[in-house]
């Protein structure tokens, strides 16, 4: 596989989340990570130095290079808690309208704090994202 900046590592995701400096961001990240683990059934894994991902899939880019990436994840950034929803958030416009205060890009949802976020809607977004990925990239047996 070609070199990518964000690859799975052996770092401890629980220690990473426990070390988040801002107590509110730390608590929010831990809550979302627990929800993602419960929803997906997959253990958290570190991807790069700052992303906690769940599950994995293999894909090829147009240039033919092979890569592996997480199926759903989060990163407790300084400005916002970033939620990674593959293969994108635009298809879930009706849910986004009910979520609460957020911003988004193609596959990233940016949450200032969980306060004001409808957690049932966020959980539904995670479930649908995982289902979308399963349809696009069936998971080989025994692979998370």
Kindly list the structural domains of the chain, giving each domain's residue range(s) and its CATH number in brackets, ordered by start.
13-136 (3.90.1150.200)
Categorize the per-residue pLDDT at 2 as very low, low, confident or very high, splitting at 50, 70 and 90.
very low
Task: Kindly compute the dihedral angle of the four CA atoms of residues 137, 42, 71, 131, in this order, to the nearest 10 degrees.
Answer: 60
pLDDT value of position 95: 97
pLDDT tens-digit readout, 78-122: 999 999 999 899 889 999 999 999 999 999 999 999 999 999 999
pTM: 0.91
């Amino acid at each position: 596989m070609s070199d990518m900046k964000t690859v799975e590592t052996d770092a401890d995701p629980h220690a990473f989340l426990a070390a988040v400096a801002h107590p509110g961001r730390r608590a929010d990240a831990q809550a979302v990570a627990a929800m993602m683990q419960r929803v997906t059934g997959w253990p958290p894994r570190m991807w790069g130095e700052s992303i906690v991902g769940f599950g994995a899939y293999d894909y090829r880019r147009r240039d033919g290079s092979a890569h592996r990436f997480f199926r759903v994840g989060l990163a407790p950034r300084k400005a916002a808690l970033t939620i990674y929803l593959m293969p994108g958030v635009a298809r879930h416009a009706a849910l986004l309208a009910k979520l609460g205060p957020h911003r988004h890009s193609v596959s990233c949802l940016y949450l200032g704090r969980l306060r004001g976020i409808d957690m049932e809607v966020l959980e539904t977004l995670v479930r649908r994202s995982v289902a979308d990925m399963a349809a696009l990239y069936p998971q080989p047996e025994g692979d998370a």
